[in-house]
Structure 1
């Protein structure tokens, strides 16, 4: 347990007309009530509320107890309305207890933890009925969200104004520091400049299963310090600190510092008699222990800084706002409960007898658990003052601006869908400059290799201060790195988790500060799954953004199997809160990108995932109609999920080929060959299997996303009068499009990629996976 303890010399401010001691006593009363309420919320969900199914409800009384003092100190002394807090997942009952005491959560919800429509398992911005700043739940993601929230606030302030100031707090469990996502975020160079960041680590030294033998606090502190953070440690409370000054006190400090975590935790479960036997290891220490009565001895051994209001107050007052701060607050898991310190107390529940005893200590009863403080009491007055001081004005979201649906160009020649992204962004700056100001792009060090160089050269790179571009006069420099506070591109290190974490927070600025942004994150498609969990969690929390995976598939032939994404098309199909597109042509990219941007930054908004390719394709194959009305019809079909690329002259075709993305040339070549054999073939270009599936569900009266309630696209792309046996083909797993056969109940064969690939030329790789023209023709002949 060895490390330096922050001295506890500061005094809490006094209440009006009272002394500092009065204020401390009131805070302790509130702390005890917070402990009771958070424990009772979990107790009611598991022991009182009827549970006819017998399924475990769950909840974390011990994890909440270790945070009760920290959160009481923060909310009732230091928090300001402009501050934001990410609460560790298992302490959600503490947050609800505080919001209840502040009057922002109705009593009726306290009995509905983890019930349908009630309080969520973990804090949720989108689903909880009381104020929640950051959704948490996936370990490591909620902890780092305030970092990206701080960057997003600064970005909004420098471009649009109105984001104000404020600290960004993260309340983090010590076991959460095992997550690699935490260190990826901490080590990003931009983070060291964010003085509004403050992490408070709940050092209870227990994980779900055990007491962690060696939490390595000193090593963790050194890692934060090496990253440029201020490190504060709140290890001991006032009682122990005072004992350290007495004869034998140094021996007591050394004894506690040197013992392992399991030995210390075992002392928490000991009687006073056992403590007198186990604790002393010298005559001086034994003499000191003998001066304490049993109650003093038991109180002293658990008198850690994370449960001492004065020690925490001192730490909060010592925060250096010029750099990020981490406070290591030592706590006891289950502090104040009958289960405190037990190695298996993570999900344990107090018995009815233990709850009755806790209620008596908390000034309430088990029969009437949901009590606020009596009117006129010091605690009630402090709650009222804090509620008033923390009140925020409602956020009023303005529009992101008018977006054109079509930029008017018709690409020709050979082009890739990847390159079309950068071209569309540049065209937008000319067609809608005010809206284009809200576009912000992100990349994990792959801007040039994903064809964003032209866009980056145009808008510059965002930096909190202007920096000199030393290669600006180098004639061989193609990508110009001009960094200034008005740049619109953010470059992160090679850490996809950081990219999507920031993407989610940039996509939430409409709800935090009323300023919608249009954030677009570009990364290599093979690494989408690495980034998927934090991006998905950002969607859950209301962060609306566009994720672009490029290059994709085995079309990236020379890169080999390690960089050939296979399952990402179905990931896009199945991801909640997201519409996925895989355009085949440059114009399809433009249309789907603009449509996706138009859905961002609003209460009913939805995110998008675009899967792009580096394969050059002849753009004349798109056969874009020249008639304005026909062109607009094509655009609507592209955005809705599919369009007929070629209709056979026959009234009823013998076969339909539904292809997606980069394999469209092979599909068209196969159609030509089959046509020469006398087989009439329709070719349908699928742009969004997810939207087509939603349309199928909506047509059957099943739940579907609001964006897909229109079912006309099924008749437009797959009309009943032209129903025929179906071949589906894509550069990805074939099951992505397999459901299309069910639209008209036709026989079908499904081509795609089901194995890891290998390096090679495109023709060889396509032949290996059965995506080449010969394979499509052979599959058609077998089917017919």
Structure 2
């Protein structure tokens, strides 16, 4: 590493040094500085144009983050205009999106028409968006912590794809640019601490250490603690505190005292010094100091030099940044703490409330003068015959990426054809399905990869793991290979197809999302499937949702679910997840009751993952064994196929009589179908002609309901098939989840409805007691039906 940076090994103490400057052929410090000045102007102008350059009749502030962008300018210029290669992937901190767009404009990756469209319809998004921005964005960011860790999971996803498919293109570095306040997020530390991460030498994180959050100057950044936490996790830690100019002053007589004074003053005092006139800086440095050498050194410096010195931080020293990025260890992950000033170069520089402050019109004119911009042509690129223009052309060529060649068609069967005769839970049926796929559908099996947060065996992945093995970044010796009593063969290698993480659901879905983007990043289709205890879906929802937003397609299996897991008590009984699944964009929620329904719907879901226009799926499964005979699956091939089509459309009728003969219709989902069917028998014996509907996906039924009358309807008319308008009947809906999930069915025909479900925390009980406690037992269903009929 260069002498200007401090490298912290896992066994070394941290200290900070800085100093030497280097030039690169064709990328001298002067050229990079001129590019940085232009990027600073453009990023500020992009935000200014969004707020003052277009009509806004709503009165709602458009907003933007000029100060947060300014602190990142030099770091990003060093990367894009020197370090990065075309195969590298970068996650940019959310509030630096204007810097990313400014750089892309200079590199020819963004049409100038977009420069005035920040936060406008069809324009530049508020934060980097992989799918919605018009230029190249590698990772969607915006939810702090999630976007930063996405690059880490993408590195693992790429390694997995390369280890299984030799034609996967090479990848370079996976870079995350994050703000220091982002390190408060637990998602960061869950990811950093994962044992496999220490082997990822392709990871480079750069922390914009501007010591400000949204509301304040951070009183104590505790940099030593942060350095130690990364080092303890096996990362190379580099700290860039001071730039070349001030580092040279530190070597003069009185320099050690100057350094001590600057480093020991509180962050707030330092920030305040940045806001005073240049002539007052010396007085503030010397306040309370009795060192003659320090007074002599400070007195020997001109006003402008002293003001420059206190601002000369490592995160703004372009040659130092270039050297540091070039010298990063490629055998373990690297984190660079780059000290910066929030708002560097702007009139709001260092102000504690500059987070979303906008420069005034006079301040923008002053910035233009400083940056050498003609305000009559504010978006002018560099002339191609200048050193900066030539550098832009060279870097555009170096960063160009070939078009992605996608995987050829993968055959996904619609069914495996195995009979389902014995009572089995949907959770166990999933385990059997995955194990059978290895033999019955090898082309599909090769593309499947499963993940779990230390619950693989308890979610019935044992058979799949025994057949395919566990994937690891590097081979691990199996010390139990000769143990004949072992049921689960836990053999870890680069050829395995199950990835086990620690008990960290956020890590699980972060990896899941990136495994689900390999088809679009490197043309290698994967079908990632994760199992997680259903009560913890809520904990993992935000990062999984964000992965879907960023284009990750995957299958999340929540199991076991509901109060059906009665003995586990209220802490492990999920209530809201059916509604969550129904409401999640980019995802189809499924809750099949029977093993055959699970087989059909899971294979259908798998066919929609890793393809253009595909979608994610969420399966809510149970540990309660159900008798497959209750499903009355037809034997005749044509009727069997009809039932399959109904199952993947969202549901089917179990009644033998037509819908127009129903006096009341019972609608069941998942594990409660036995109670629904038992209630039907009781009602029928009481002379009430009762219809039964089994929903496999309330989500798809709701979509069908919403698309009535919509000429662009895409999800079929299952709502009309299940609840035909000419045959109204009172409805009783039954689900092991919140009852409002199915309340929309009242609008299908304007029927009276009773929605049975779970709206209170449960407790440890037997299954029968749990259903009775929450009003889900047969007697409660019968009572609800008779009540609707006025009997």
Pick the TM interval, shorter chain. over 0.9
Question: Could you tell me how far apart the structure 2 residues matched to 1:247 and 1:557 are?
Answer: 75
Counterpart check, 1:268 vs 2:286: no
Unmatched runs of 5 consecutive residues or more in structure 1 = none
Residue 134 of structure 1 corresponds to: 139
Residue 724 of structure 2 corresponds to: 719
Residue 157 of structure 1 corresponds to: 162
Counterpart check, 1:198 vs 2:204: yes
Residue 220 of structure 1 corresponds to: 226
Residue 563 of structure 1 corresponds to: 572
- Residue 317 of structure 1 deviates from its aligned partner by 2.3
Residues 470-529 of structure 1 show CA distances to partners (whole Å, capped at 9, x for unaligned) of 112222211110111110000000000000000000000001000110000100000000
Question: Could you tell me how far apart the structure 2 residues matched to 1:737 and 1:597 are?
Answer: 26
Structure 1 residue corresponding to 2:189, chosen from 161, 183, 205: 183
Structure 1 residue corresponding to 2:586, chosen from 553, 577, 602: 577
Counterpart check, 1:173 vs 2:179: yes
- Residue 721 of structure 1 deviates from its aligned partner by 4.0
Residue 10 of structure 2 corresponds to: none
Question: Could you tell me how far apart the structure 2 residues matched to 1:699 and 1:431 are?
Answer: 39
Counterpart check, 1:441 vs 2:450: yes
- 1:648, 1:681 within 8 Å by CA — same for their partners in 2? no
Counterpart check, 1:49 vs 2:54: yes
Q: What's the Cα RMSD here?
A: 1.4
Question: Could you tell me how far apart the structure 1 residues matched to 2:660 and 2:332 are?
Answer: 71
Structure 2 residue corresponding to 1:102, chosen from 95, 102, 107: 107
Question: Could you tell me how far apart the structure 1 residues matched to 2:409 and 2:460 are?
Answer: 25
Counterpart check, 1:14 vs 2:20: no
Structure 2 residue corresponding to 1:93, chosen from 93, 98, 114: 98
Residues 630-660 of structure 1 show CA distances to partners (whole Å, capped at 9, x for unaligned) of 0111111111111012234785111100000
Residue 430 of structure 1 corresponds to: 439
Structure 1 stretch displaced more, 458-467 or 323-332: 458-467
Question: Could you tell me how far apart the structure 2 residues matched to 1:241 and 1:647 are?
Answer: 86
Question: Could you tell me how far apart the structure 1 residues matched to 2:654 and 2:42 are?
Answer: 62
Residue 348 of structure 1 corresponds to: 357
Question: Could you tell me how far apart the structure 1 residues matched to 2:358 and 2:659 are?
Answer: 71
SS of the equivalent of 1:500 reads helix
Structure 2 residue corresponding to 1:210, chosen from 212, 216, 220: 216
Question: Could you tell me how far apart the structure 2 residues matched to 1:776 and 1:6 are?
Answer: 74
Residues 98-128 of structure 1 show CA distances to partners (whole Å, capped at 9, x for unaligned) of 0000001000000000001100000011000
Question: Could you tell me how far apart the structure 2 residues matched to 1:237 and 1:595 are?
Answer: 57
CA distance change for structure 1 residues 723 and 399 in 2, over 3 Å: closer, same or farther? farther
Residue 292 of structure 1 corresponds to: 301
Counterpart check, 1:414 vs 2:423: yes
CA distance change for structure 1 residues 650 and 292 in 2, over 3 Å: closer, same or farther? closer
Alignment of 1:476-491 (within 5 A): 476-491=485-500
Question: Could you tell me how far apart the structure 1 residues matched to 2:56 and 2:725 are?
Answer: 49
Residue 393 of structure 2 corresponds to: 384
Residue 284 of structure 2 corresponds to: 278
Structure 1 stretch displaced more, 600-609 or 92-101: 600-609
Residue 382 of structure 2 corresponds to: 373
- Residue 10 of structure 1 deviates from its aligned partner by 5.1
Question: Could you tell me how far apart the structure 2 residues matched to 1:518 and 1:262 are?
Answer: 50
Structure 1 stretch displaced more, 271-280 or 634-643: 271-280
Question: Could you tell me how far apart the structure 1 residues matched to 2:413 and 2:51 are?
Answer: 53
Alignment of 1:542-621 (within 5 A): 542-621=551-630
- 1:6, 1:232 within 8 Å by CA — same for their partners in 2? no
- Residue 425 of structure 1 deviates from its aligned partner by 1.1
- Residue 616 of structure 1 deviates from its aligned partner by 1.1
- 1:547, 1:609 within 8 Å by CA — same for their partners in 2? yes
Residue 363 of structure 1 corresponds to: 372
Question: Could you tell me how far apart the structure 1 residues matched to 2:681 and 2:255 are?
Answer: 91
Counterpart check, 1:778 vs 2:783: yes
- 2:734, 2:755 within 8 Å by CA — same for their partners in 1? yes
Question: Could you tell me how far apart the structure 1 residues matched to 2:351 and 2:599 are?
Answer: 59
- 2:592, 2:669 within 8 Å by CA — same for their partners in 1? yes
Question: Could you tell me how far apart the structure 2 residues matched to 1:537 and 1:252 are?
Answer: 46
- 1:61, 1:349 within 8 Å by CA — same for their partners in 2? yes
Residue 527 of structure 2 corresponds to: 518
Question: Could you tell me how far apart the structure 2 residues matched to 1:467 and 1:221 are?
Answer: 29
Residue 473 of structure 2 corresponds to: 464
- Residue 431 of structure 1 deviates from its aligned partner by 2.0
Question: Could you tell me how far apart the structure 1 residues matched to 2:396 and 2:658 are?
Answer: 72
- 2:659, 2:724 within 8 Å by CA — same for their partners in 1? no
SS of the equivalent of 1:722 reads coil
Alignment of 1:598-747 (within 5 A): 598-648=607-657, 652-701=661-710, 706=714, 708=715, 710-711=716-717, 713-747=718-752
CA distance change for structure 1 residues 544 and 326 in 2, over 3 Å: closer, same or farther? same
Residues 33-89 of structure 1 show CA distances to partners (whole Å, capped at 9, x for unaligned) of 000000000001012211111111110000000000000001001000111100000
Unmatched runs of 5 consecutive residues or more in structure 2 = 1-5, 7-12
- Residue 714 of structure 1 deviates from its aligned partner by 2.0
Question: Could you tell me how far apart the structure 2 residues matched to 1:209 and 1:737 are?
Answer: 43
Question: Could you tell me how far apart the structure 2 residues matched to 1:254 and 1:653 are?
Answer: 85
SS of the equivalent of 2:749 reads coil
Residues 684-735 of structure 1 show CA distances to partners (whole Å, capped at 9, x for unaligned) of 001111111111111232876x4x2x22x12322223433111001000011
Counterpart check, 1:748 vs 2:747: no
Aligned length: 774
Question: Could you tell me how far apart the structure 1 residues matched to 2:305 and 2:393 are?
Answer: 34
Residues 519-571 of structure 1 show CA distances to partners (whole Å, capped at 9, x for unaligned) of 00100000000000000000000000000000000001001011000000000
Question: Could you tell me how far apart the structure 1 residues matched to 2:408 and 2:545 are?
Answer: 24
- 2:566, 2:766 within 8 Å by CA — same for their partners in 1? yes
- Residue 6 of structure 1 deviates from its aligned partner by 4.3
- Residue 11 of structure 1 deviates from its aligned partner by 1.3
Residue 3 of structure 2 corresponds to: none
Question: Could you tell me how far apart the structure 1 residues matched to 2:661 and 2:444 are?
Answer: 46
Residue 59 of structure 1 corresponds to: 64
- 1:641, 1:689 within 8 Å by CA — same for their partners in 2? yes
Residue 245 of structure 2 corresponds to: 239
Residues 416-464 of structure 1 show CA distances to partners (whole Å, capped at 9, x for unaligned) of 0001111111222222202210100000000010011111111000013
Question: Could you tell me how far apart the structure 1 residues matched to 2:657 and 2:119 are?
Answer: 56
Structure 1 stretch displaced more, 209-218 or 418-427: 418-427
Structure 1 stretch displaced more, 276-285 or 49-58: 276-285
CA distance change for structure 1 residues 779 and 331 in 2, over 3 Å: closer, same or farther? same
Question: Could you tell me how far apart the structure 2 residues matched to 1:493 and 1:630 are?
Answer: 45
SS of the equivalent of 2:343 reads coil
